[in-house]
Amino acid sequence: MWTLGSSQICKIVPYSELPISKVLNAGSAINEQILGKTHHETGQITWLSVNAYPEKYEVNGKTPSFVVVYFVDITKKVNNFSYKDIVPNAQDMILVTEALCGHTEYTLEELIGETPRIFQGTLTDKEATQRIRQALLEHRPCTETLLNYTKTGKPFWVQMNIFPLTNDYGEVTHFAAVQRDVSETKFQTEQLDKRNAELKRIKDNLEQLVNNRTRELRSANLKLEKLAYVDALTHIPNRRAFLDSLKKFLHLACRNKQAILVGIADVDHFKSINDQFGHAFGDDVLVTVAQTLQKLFRQEDCIGRIGGEEFAFCMSLPTPRAANQLLERFRETICHLHTTQPILKGRNVTVSIGAVYTQKTENTEIKALLKAADDALYKAKNSGRNAVECTLDVDVLVTPKLVKECN
């Protein structure tokens, strides 16, 4: 029995479709027609590629017609796979049934010759079908989950596992597809998504939320850092920041063999100012003194508010005379603030200043410098306030214990 074959269906070939009949009827050759020959006992099909052409010659003055037909066995190329090639690649248990027709509501006749696109609809994921198409073109396996539809339009979800099948020559001849109905799983997932809609929205925007939160945390850290090193009222460095800067300044002066001036300025009668004019006016006084410090001293100098009404400073100066001139200029500027700063409302404000000028920076400790400046400040206050007291290279600056030498 001759059989006409394809990847989907086999049917018995009528005489009119056989190669010899076609050649006799048309008078022209046919090339590479695929036919299957069924063994009468085993039922096994042998696949053949058939070529045929007419040939004419004269016998006794007549011209009889002959048809030359030759066959090439291509069974291994066309049909060299079985269920054994499919089962090892399947990811689920396989039941061979006729359930597909019942599940999709199509008849067997309607499905024969069709592609899986017959089950697809408007909501079927086009990107997923494109990925499947690309995998088929590249002869590689793929797994996708698709929304399909029955004949009457009822939706159902399938997970498709598609993989190529090859013959003995390593050529891909067919593709096998194992499908699993996952509609129930998808339904449960959709219900869960609906119950957690708010959570899903948060998840969708998680990256943006994280970025916003990161910026907020960074801003908060900057504020905390500012609070840790900047005085909240006057917006100049606080005691902690000033001591850190003074340590670095002293180390630099040691390396460069420079003399330094370290001083402390204290607002005179500040308690009385608060008691007489109120704490708000007292705050205005402190802010004004801090602003004057910022204007008078250079950017590379150190300044800071180290106590309630106490301000400290540190700078490098070449001579003691220059140090005294700077200190006097600072005192006089504060003394005349009431004439230049309307916020002081004409009320006179003065400061007492104690400072120490030294060239002995090699073995000098910060604690000793500040104590010397504080002692000088005490003398300035005892002398009547609104005064400057500067100590030059006192022995107390050299500590008994040798500190680390400058590099």
Cα distances (angstroms) measured from residue 297 to each of 97, 187, 241, 327, 330: 94, 74, 17, 11, 9
Catalytic residue among 41, 309, 362, 365: 309
Alpha-carbon distance 39 to 42, whole Å? 6
Beta-ladder partners of 35: 4, 48
Residue 247 makes CB contacts below 8 A (sequence gap 6+) with: 366
For residue 161, give the H/E element and its range: strand 155-166
The yes-or-no answer on residue 109 being catalytic is no
SS3 content of the chain, % helix, strand, coil (to 5): 45, 25, 30
Residue for token pair 């689920």: 92
Alpha-carbon distance 95 to 181, whole Å? 13
Compute the C-alpha angle 338/279/303, nearest 5°: 65
Residue 330 makes CB contacts below 8 A (sequence gap 6+) with: 265, 292, 293, 296, 351, 353
DSSP-derived 3-state class of residue 164: strand
Alpha-carbon distance 184 to 188, whole Å? 6
Instruction: Extract the tokens encoding 49.
Output: 């590629």
Phi, psi of 59 (to 5 degrees): -135, 115
Q: If you write DSSP's letter for every residue of 47-87 in order, what string do you get?
A: EEEEEEEEEE--BTTB--EEEEEEEEE-HHHHS---HHHHG
The runs of H, that is alpha helices, within 197-356 are: 197-204, 206-229, 239-256, 270-277, 279-296, 320-335, 337-340
Residue for token pair 């590379």: 300
Residue for token pair 């704490």: 279
Instruction: Extract the tokens encoding 205.
Output: 């925007």
- Which residues are annotated as catalytic? 309
